[in-house]
A and B are shown apart, each in its own frame.
Chain A
Amino acid sequence: MASKSWSPTYLANQLWAKQPKANAELFALTYGALVAELVRDLETNDKIQAELDRMGHSMGIRSVEEFLAKASLEPQSQTAVTCSQFKDTSDVLKMALKMFLGITTEAGVQEDSHFSIQFAENPLSLFVELPPDRSDLEYSQLLCGYVRGMLEMLQFDVTVTMAQSVLRGDEVNEMRVDLNQVLQAGAGDDYQEE
Chain B
Amino acid sequence: MPVHSLHVFDRKGKTLFTKCYAQNKANKVDDGEQLSEKRKLVFGMLFSLKEVAASLSPSSIKDNGVHSVQTGASTCYCLETASGLRFALYITDDADKTHARSIRKAMQHAYNDIWIQSVVRSPLYNPVTPNVQATNFETNLDAFLVSQSWYR
Interface residues of A (CB under 8 A from B): 58, 61-66, 68-70, 72-73, 79, 81-84, 153-155, 185-191, 194
Beyond A83-B82, A194-B36, is A66–B14 a contact (Cβ under 8 Å)? no
Shortest 3 CB-CB contacts between residues of A and residues of B:
A188-B12, A191-B13, A190-B14
- Within 8 Å CB of B39, what residues of A? 194
A/B pair count, beta carbons within 8 Å: 69
Of the candidates B14, B40, B83, B84, the one having the most CB atoms from chain A within 10 angstroms of its own CB is B83
A64 contacts B83, C-beta separation under 8 Å: yes
- CB contacts (< 8 Å) of A155 on chain B: these are 11, 84
Contacts of A186 in B (CB 8 A): 12
Give the shortest distance, in Å, between B59 (CB) and chain A (any CB): 11
- A83 — which chain B residues lie within 8 A by C-beta? 82
Report the minimum CB–CB distance from B65 to chain A (whole Å): 10
Say whether B58 faces chain A, with CB atoms less than 8 Å apart.
Answer: no
B63 within 8 A of A: yes
Whether B62 is near chain A, meaning CB under 8 Å from some CB there, is yes
Q: A65 to B120, Cβ gap below 8 A?
A: yes
What are the residues of chain A within 8 A of B84 when measuring CB–CB? Answer: 153, 155, 185
Q: Decide if B14 touches A69 in the complex (CB within 8 Å).
A: no
Given A65-B115, A82-B62, A154-B83, also A185-B127 (CB < 8 A): no
Name the CB-closest residue of B to A73.
Answer: B112
CA distance A82 to B82 in the complex (A): 7
Q: Which residues of B contact A185 (CB under 8 A)?
A: 11, 84
**CB-CB < 8 A to B133: which residues of A?**
none
The interface size bin for chain B is 20 to 34
Instruction: Say yes or no for B77: interface residue by CB 8 A criterion.
Output: no
B83 & A194 in contact (Cβ 8 Å cutoff) = no
User: Could you write out 19 A-B pairs with CB less than 8 Å apart?
Assistant: A58-B127, A63-B120, A65-B83, A65-B85, A65-B115, A65-B116, A68-B81, A68-B83, A69-B116, A79-B62, A153-B84, A185-B11, A185-B84, A187-B44, A187-B47, A189-B12, A190-B13, A191-B40, A194-B13
| Minimal beta-carbon separation of A62 from chain B (angstroms) | 5
Q: A62 — which chain B residues lie within 8 A by C-beta?
A: 120-121, 127
Rounded to whole angstroms, the CA-CA distance of A70 and B109 in the bound complex is: 11
The reply to whether B13 and A81 form a contact with Cβ atoms under 8 Å apart is: no
Which of A61, A66, A190, A191 is in CB contact (< 8 Å) with B116? A66
B 92-127 contacts with A by CB, 8 A: 108, 111-113, 115-116, 120-121, 127
Closest CB in chain B relative to A90 CB, distance in Å: 15
Determine the chain A residues whose CB is within 8 A of the CB of B90 once the complex forms.
Answer: none
Chain A residues with CB under 8 A of B15: 194
Please, which residues of chain B bring their CB within 8 A of the CB of A82?
62-63, 82
The yes or no answer to B43 lying at the interface (CB within 8 A) is yes
**Residues A191 and B43 in contact in the complex (CB < 8 Å), given A58-B127, A82-B62:** yes
Whether A191 pairs with B14 at a CB distance below 8 angstroms is: yes
